[in-house]
Amino acid sequence: MEEIRERMPLIGEDAPAFKAITTQGEINFPEDYKGKWVILFSHPADFTPVCTTEFMTFASMIDEFKAINTELVGLSVDSLYAHIAWLRRIQELEWKGMSHVNVTFPLIEDIRMEVANKYGMIQPGASNTQAVRAVFVVDPNGKIRTILYYPLSTGRNFDEIKRIILALQKADSDQCATPADWRPGDDVIVPTAGSCGTARERMENQNEDQYCLDWFLCFKKSK
């Protein structure tokens, strides 16, 4: 009998809801995180090398993420007891100046792959028994705003994940877009002109706060 898989959620849709047991107790997602940004991410397995470096890095950055109103939630298809044993072992490791790392964000037990399947984290081309390295950025309204997938062999760039959060927050607060390699403090892109009149006005009335390279590419200077 052919296996039926749930459709993977898309950017702009509501994050699929679930309740789960974690290393920090039971959570009701995304209900428990209303008003906050959330990084929901999966890893292939506990006690594996790439995943260990990722958890050490994420846990070391937790204060940076909390400072931008962002919470972390991890997931793999391992048991709760495997999670606990692995996180205790991580505390004993040292890598790239990180040591005594205490993972305080919740790590979901998903032995039956229920959450992983809701989010398209099980991809048969990579593995039928492990979640791929997926990242879902969920906004304070419970909407999916970013989806990233990494192959099993490639560790994630956590500075880039943080940059994405900051860029989304900037876009929401200032009603703008961010250019390539944008960092906080850089100029932002003004929404494209929606009429010929607006396009002409922008080109003819540039000022110290806004400038255009062409009618469709205008920037607002950072203050």
- Cβ(54)–Cβ(43) below 8 Å: yes
Rounded to an integer, what distance in angstroms lies between the CA atom of residue 96 and that of residue 48? Answer: 17
Q: Report in angstroms the alpha-carbon separations of 183 from 37, 139, 160, 186.
A: 19, 19, 10, 6
Q: Helices (H) and strands (E) in the chain — how many of each?
A: 6, 12
Rounded to an integer, what distance in angstroms lies between the CA atom of residue 94 and that of residue 177? Answer: 39
Residue 169's DSSP bridge partners are none
Show which residues are catalytic: 51
Peptide bond into 30 cis (omega under 30): yes
Collapsed DSSP state (helix, strand, coil) of residue 202: helix
